[in-house]
Amino acid sequence: MVAALARDPFLRKPIIFVARLRCPTRRSERLQPLQNKDDNRSVPRKISPPKISIARWLLAALFLIAGAMHFILPAAYERILPPFLPELFLSHRYAVIAFTGVAEIAGGLGLLWEPTRRTAAICLALLLIAVFPANLWMATSHLQYGNSPIAQWALWLRLPLQLPLIGWALLYARKN
Confidence of residue 105 (pLDDT cuts 50, 70, 90): very high
121 within 8 A of 170, measured Cβ to Cβ: yes
Confidence of residue 19 (pLDDT cuts 50, 70, 90): very low
79 within 8 A of 90, measured Cβ to Cβ: no
Confidence of residue 98 (pLDDT cuts 50, 70, 90): very high
CA distances from 79 to 11, 135, 142 (A): 73, 11, 11
What is d(CA 150, CA 155) in angstroms, rounded to the nearest whole number?
7
Specify the DSSP element, H or E, that contains 116.
none
- Rounded to the nearest angstrom, the gap between the alpha carbon of residue 175 and the centroid of all alpha carbons in its chain is 14
Residues 61-84: tens digit of each pLDDT: 999 999 999 999 998 888 888 888
CA atoms within 13 A on the CB side of 25: 15
For the chain, the structural domain boundaries read 2-44, 54-171
Confidence of residue 118 (pLDDT cuts 50, 70, 90): very high
CA distances from 97 to 10, 60, 174 (A): 63, 19, 29
With 60 as the cut, is the pLDDT of residue 34 above it?
A: no
Nearest to 104 by CA among 49, 61, 45: 61
pLDDT at 76: 82
Summary mean pLDDT of the chain: 78
pLDDT at 21: 45
